[in-house]
Amino acid sequence: MSTDFHLDSVVQDDCLVIRTFGYVNNMGGKEIVKCFNEGFDHGLTKIVINLAESKVVNSIGISYLLEIIEKLMDKKGKLVFTNLEPAIEKTFSIMGLFHFAEHAATEETAIAKMGE
Amino acid sequence: MSTDFHLDSVVQDDCLVIRTFGYVNNMGGKEIVKCFNEGFDHGLTKIVINLAESKVVNSIGISYLLEIIEKLMDKKGKLVFTNLEPAIEKTFSIMGLFHFAEHAATEETAIAKMGE
Amino acid sequence: MSESVELKISLPKIPDIELVALEGLQRLASHLGISDDKIGEAKILATEAIINALEHAGVDELPVDIVFTMTKKRLIIFVQDYGKGFQPDSVEEPIIEKKLGTNKKRGWGLKLMRTMSDDITIESDEHGTKITLIKNLA
Amino acid sequence: MSESVELKISLPKIPDIELVALEGLQRLASHLGISDDKIGEAKILATEAIINALEHAGVDELPVDIVFTMTKKRLIIFVQDYGKGFQPDSVEEPIIEKKLGTNKKRGWGLKLMRTMSDDITIESDEHGTKITLIKNLA
Ligand SMILES: Nc1ncnc2c1ncn2[C@@H]1O[C@H](COP(=O)(O)OP(=O)(O)O)[C@@H](O)[C@H]1O
Ligand SMILES: Nc1ncnc2c1ncn2[C@@H]1O[C@H](COP(=O)(O)OP(=O)(O)O)[C@@H](O)[C@H]1O
């Protein structure tokens, strides 16, 4: 029953892959940005965020992700979300996130997209 | 947030190991007994039930497990529960289950106990 | 002065709905910094009180009402149904040795609630049953 | 005649308490045989309405009251707070291009509720806010 947020991350083919677990609320959004910033400060500008294990999000948590988009625009980086629940995909779509980020079914297809 | 019950099982060193996931309610108790019966009908009388992934139980679900104890008594079999949350261990203790079954920290120690 | 939080839930009679109450207990406990270990027995108490009300009240249309009142030190679990009631004193004490070999393996809820709680009050009549359980958390 | 189930919850203002309501939605949906896909958007709606009430009402002692009424065809989400109220019409429409580069990245809840629901009613005055969301499930 636990939905407390945590995440892990790996660097693969020059991409920072962030995998989230649990509720992306205020705190969850901040943690994602913190993890991104650590990678970004090391020069990583290809970012994959895998939300497979986050079945619940709220708009406060997601609004933090706009900070990632801003920073990546400056460096011509790329952000791809993967494993989105249909309702979460719709949420991102309504917020206009896909004007600035992409989505893919899996991490593999996301990483493949990075070259495009 | 899903706590819907399911289980899997393996046979190891002549023991039937049943691993449960989610809420051991009425339905969960019945499924454990069904899985036990299949093994028992094939002659398995050393049984390990691993409740690591069941954080919630109710007394209806647990009362089904008395059927397992009955059948094992007739065949001089042995039942060992593992990975019990403290509150679940206390529940079993109050019900008197440990007059007829044992408990162990892990599957490995449970299987080791079978020889005793 | 210690903070007190209150959660009220009015449950319809559907399978596993008690899990909503348990999620509530978990959130109250997290907020007050109470460990999973300490809240574990409280979850068993709440589960048993609620499933009895859901199953035995005998009126499907009426809800089961729950109030949790929690401080760092103490939880009060209040469960009310609007069913047919019962006489707690005439419920037989379950003993495992007597249950084995019979078809009546159930009947553990009240014993668990009595043994695990720090205090229990049952008020029951033909208008329904109210059960109040106290669990010390400190 | 289709079965209707009702779940009422009165939430204290503590972090993540909206998850109790989401567990409730899940249980109602499972009971009525509604798929996870269909209930997903309903969860977003409920989350946004509840976190607004928890955060913006501005009265910490008073609860947020929720009623879910679900049939196989339709869910009604009712969320009430007893706070200071607001004027929904004067809330600016958020546009992502305008948010980027500013410090005001929030403000998406009402837009999400308006776009994802099949109907929305907001009644708000100085005694509090009531929001009613309808989501078709069939
Ligand atoms: N809320 C209730 N309303 C009516 N009867 C109840 C209620 N709670 C308990 N009972 C009665 O007390 C008996 C014992 O309950 P319990 O010890 O919880 O075991 P079980 O529910 O498995 O029978 C029940 O079988 C029922 O007859
Ligand atoms: N229940 C409420 N009580 C008072 N004000 C509210 C309520 N719900 C929304 N508001 C007001 O409407 C604004 C917009 O809400 P919303 O679109 O959900 O975005 P956010 O909550 O991120 O600001 C809030 O900032 C707040 O001023």
Q: D85 with D126: CB under 8 angstroms?
A: yes
**What element of type H or E holds B53?**
strand B46-53
Distance, CA C52 to ligand 1 centroid (Å)?
Answer: 5
* Per-residue pLDDT band at C1 (split at 50, 70, 90): low
Q: D116 with A94: CB under 8 angstroms?
A: yes
Question: Average pLDDT, whole number, for chain D?
Answer: 96
% of chain B residues with pLDDT over 70: 97
Question: Average pLDDT, whole number, for chain C?
Answer: 96
Q: Contacts of residue C30 in chain A, CB cutoff 8 Å?
A: 4
Domain with A73 in it: what CATH number?
3.30.750.24
Atom 19 of ligand 2, residue of closest alpha carbon: D107
Domains and CATH numbers, chain C: 5-136 (3.30.565.10)
B:19-58 residues touching chain A, CB 8 A cutoff: 55-56
DSSP 8-state secondary structure symbol assigned to residue C114: H
Q: What is the pLDDT of residue B57?
A: 97
- Contact yes or no for B56 and A3 at CB 8 A: no
* Per-residue pLDDT band at B115 (split at 50, 70, 90): confident
The mean per-residue pLDDT over the stretch B62-87 comes to 97
Spatial separation of the C-alpha atoms in residues D49 and D45, rounded to whole Å: 6
Q: Which chains touch A (3 or more CB pairs under 8 A)?
A: B, C, D
Q: Dig out the tokens for A1 from the structure.
A: 């029953």
CB of D104 sitting under 6 A from ligand 2 = no
**B116 has a pLDDT exceeding 80:** no
Distance, CA D110 to ligand 2 centroid (Å)?
Answer: 7
Cα D117 to Cα A79, D21, D67, D71: the distances in Å are 28, 17, 16, 16
Angstroms from D90 CA to nearest CA on chain B: 36
Output the ligand 1 site: residues, CB below 6 A.
B 59-60; C 52-53, 56-57, 81, 83, 85-86, 91, 106-110, 129
Atom 26 of ligand 2, residue of closest alpha carbon: D56
Atom 20 of ligand 1, residue of closest alpha carbon: C107
Please list the residues that pair with D33 across neighbouring strands: none
Q: Exposed (0-12), middle (13-18) or buried (19+): which is B20, by Cβ within 10 Å? A: buried
Spatial separation of the C-alpha atoms in residues B2 and A108, rounded to whole Å: 27
Tens digit of each residue's pLDDT (9 = 90 or more) over B19-60: 999 999 999 999 999 999 999 999 999 999 999 999 999 999
Question: What is the DSSP track for D57-115?
Answer: S--SSS-EEEEEEE-SSEEEEEEEE-S----GGGSPPP-HHHHTTSS-----HHHHHHH
Residue B67 exposure: Cα atoms within 13 Å on the Cβ side: 18
Q: Contacts of residue A91 in chain D, CB cutoff 8 Å?
A: 44, 112, 116
The mean per-residue pLDDT over the stretch C94-123 comes to 97
Angstroms from A11 CA to nearest CA on chain C: 33
Q: For ligand 1, what atom is nearest to the CA of residue C128?
A: 3
Report chain A (116 residues): mean pLDDT per 10 consecutive residues. Answer: 82 96 97 98 98 97 98 95 98 98 98 88
Ligand nearest to the CA of C56: 1
Give Cα A61 to chain centroid, integer Å: 11
Atom 9 of ligand 1, residue of closest alpha carbon: C52
**B1 has a pLDDT exceeding 50:** no
Total-model pTM: 0.96
The mean per-residue pLDDT over the stretch B14-20 comes to 97
- Contact yes or no for A2 and C26 at CB 8 A: yes
Angstroms from B4 CA to nearest CA on chain D: 10
- Contact yes or no for D40 and A87 at CB 8 A: yes
Q: Dig out the tokens for D72 from the structure.
A: 């196989």
Pairing between strand B6-12 and A102-104? Answer: unpaired
Owner of token pair 């299949």: B38
The residue segments making up the domain with residue A107 are 5-113
- Contact yes or no for C63 and D19 at CB 8 A: no
Tens-level pLDDT at each residue, chain D (138 residues): 579 999 999 999 999 999 999 999 999 999 999 999 889 999 999 999 999 999 999 988 999 999 999 999 999 999 999 999 999 999 999 999 999 999 999 999 999 999 999 999 999 999 999 999 999 999
**Number of domains into which chain B is organized:** 1
What is the ipTM metric for this complex? 0.95
Q: C99 with C31: CB under 8 angstroms?
A: no
Amino acid at A44: L
Q: What is the pLDDT of residue C137?
A: 97
The mean per-residue pLDDT over the stretch C29-39 comes to 94
Please provide the distance, in angstroms rounded to a whole number, between the alpha carbons at the two ends of chain D: 15
